[in-house]
Amino acid sequence: MQTIDFRSDTVTWPTPAMREAMAAAQVGDDVYGEDPTVIELEALAAEMLGKPAGLFVSSGTQGNLIAALTHAQRGDEAILGEDAHTFCWEAGGIAVLGGITPRPLPTDHIGRLDLDQVRQAIRGDNPHWPRSRLILTENSSGGNHGAAIPPDYFAELRAIAEAHDLRLHLDGARLFNATTALQLDPTEITRHVDSVSICLSKGLCAPVGSVLVGDRDFIAQARRQRKLLGGGMRQAGILAAAGLIALRDMTQRLTEDHDRAQRLATGLANLDAIAIDPTVVQTNMVFFALAPDASLSPPEVIEKLKAHSGIQLGFYGDRTFRAVTHYWIRDEHVDALVAALGEIL
Ligand code: TLP
C-alpha cells in the first residue's frame, strides 16, 4: 500500500529534478571553502534573504544552534517563546552546548511575544543575573498552526533589541511559507533581524540542509561554530545542488500546499467527531482535535488510518493531531484523509 504521509513536510523526498541535479553536481571540499555548488547556494540564499553572507548547515536545529552560539556567550540569556522550536524541540541545545539560559515567555495566537513582557524580561547589569543577549523568533510559527507573522512585529522587536544591544535571530524553517501567505518578499521580514536560518528540507523538498545567513563577520564566526559542532561537510555540493532547486523553484509553488491545507481544514470541519477552526489555517499546517465523544481514542485513530488507508498523521498529545501538506500530497490524498476519518469515526 502506498503511504500518504501528513506527519510533516520533513518527510518530503527530493524531486526528480533534484535527483538529476545531485547526480551532476560539481563538488569540492567545502571545509576548504572549495565546493562551487555550496558557494552558489550560500550566495543565493544570502541574496534572497537580503544578507551579505550565508552558511550551508546540516539541519534547522544546527542552524539555530550555530546562530545562538555565535551571537551569545556562556552565561548569557536568550528570550524566546515558550512554544518556540528552539525551546521545545531542539534538545535544549542552547543550554546544553552553549551555556545560554533560555528565558521562555508566552506567545499569542500567532506566535508573537508580548513586547512589554520582552522589555520587562531584559535584565540590567548585575553580577547575580545572566546577561540578556539574544531574542529568538520563529516564522511561520509551528507551535501556532503554522501562523504567518507580519513584518511590523519584527520591526518593533528590532527597536527593542537595538535599544538594549541584543541580537535578534529568526528561525525561518518555514519562512517562505509565511511570506507566501503574507504575499511579501522575505526581505520585508529579514531586514529586521540579525540572522535567519531557513530550511531546504521541509516544504522545499531538498533531502538535507538549511542555510544560515547574516553579515560577513557573523558568518565567519558561525563557520567556526559549525566546525566545532562537527558540521563541516566535505563534498556537500551533492546536497547543495538540491538546495538550489529548493530555493529557485520550490519556493514558487507553496501556495498549492496552502490551498490544500485549506481544502483539508474545510473538509474536516464537516465531520462531527473533529473539532477544528479552519480560519486559523494560513500556511501548510492543519491542527485538529478529536471530539470528546468520538468513538475511538487518538492512538486508535492513528493506527486505523494507517492500516486501512496508508495515511499517517502527526499526534500532538492530548487529543490533537497535525496534518502538514507538501509537494507529495495531492488533492486526492486530502480527500482520502477526510473520507477515511469520516468512515472510521
Ligand atoms: N520541526 C519538525 C519537528 O522537529 C517538530 C516538524 O516536523 O515540524 N525550526 C522549526 C520551526 C521546525 O519546525 C523544525 C523542524 C526545525 C526548526 C528543525 O529542523 P531540522 O529537523 O532540520 O533540525
pLDDT 10s digits, 212-263: 999 999 999 999 999 999 999 999 999 999 999 999 999 999 999 999 999 9
CA of 201 to the centre of ligand 1 (A): 10
103, containing H or E segment: strand 101-105
Residue 190 beta carbon below 6 angstroms from any ligand 1 atom: no
pLDDT, tens digit (0-9, with 9 covering 90-100), for 17-37: 999 999 999 999 999 999 999
Q: For residues 324 and 345, what is the distance between their CA atoms, to the nearest angstrom?
A: 21
The mean predicted confidence, pLDDT, of the chain is 97
Q: Give the distance, in angstroms, between the CA of residue 158 and the centroid of all CA atoms in the same chain.
A: 20
Separation in Å, CA 53 to CA 194, 217, 222 = 12, 9, 11
Q: For residues 223 and 226, what is the distance between their CA atoms, to the nearest angstrom?
A: 5
Residue 260 beta carbon below 6 angstroms from any ligand 1 atom: no
The position carrying cell 496508508 is 310
Q: What is the pLDDT of residue 2?
A: 74
* pLDDT range class, residue 1, cuts 50, 70, 90: low
The position carrying cell 513536510 is 9
pLDDT, tens digit (0-9, with 9 covering 90-100), for 35-81: 999 999 999 999 999 999 999 999 999 999 999 999 999 999 999 99
DSSP calls for 163-199:
HTT-EEEEEETTHHHHHHHHT--THHHHTTSSEEEEE
CA of 284 to the centre of ligand 1 (A): 14
Q: For residues 37 and 123, what is the distance between their CA atoms, to the nearest angstrom?
A: 43
- What domains can you pick out in the chain, each with its CATH number? 12-251 (3.40.640.10), 253-344 (3.90.1150.10)
CB 30 within 8 A of CB 233: yes
Most ligand 1 atoms within 8 A of CB, residue of 7, 138, 202 to mutate: 202
pLDDT at 308 over 90: no
pLDDT, tens digit (0-9, with 9 covering 90-100), for 123-165: 999 999 999 999 999 999 999 999 999 999 999 999 999 999 9
Q: Name residues whose C-beta falls within 8 Å of residue 84's C-beta, 6 or more positions apart in sequence.
A: 104, 107, 111, 136, 137, 138, 143, 171
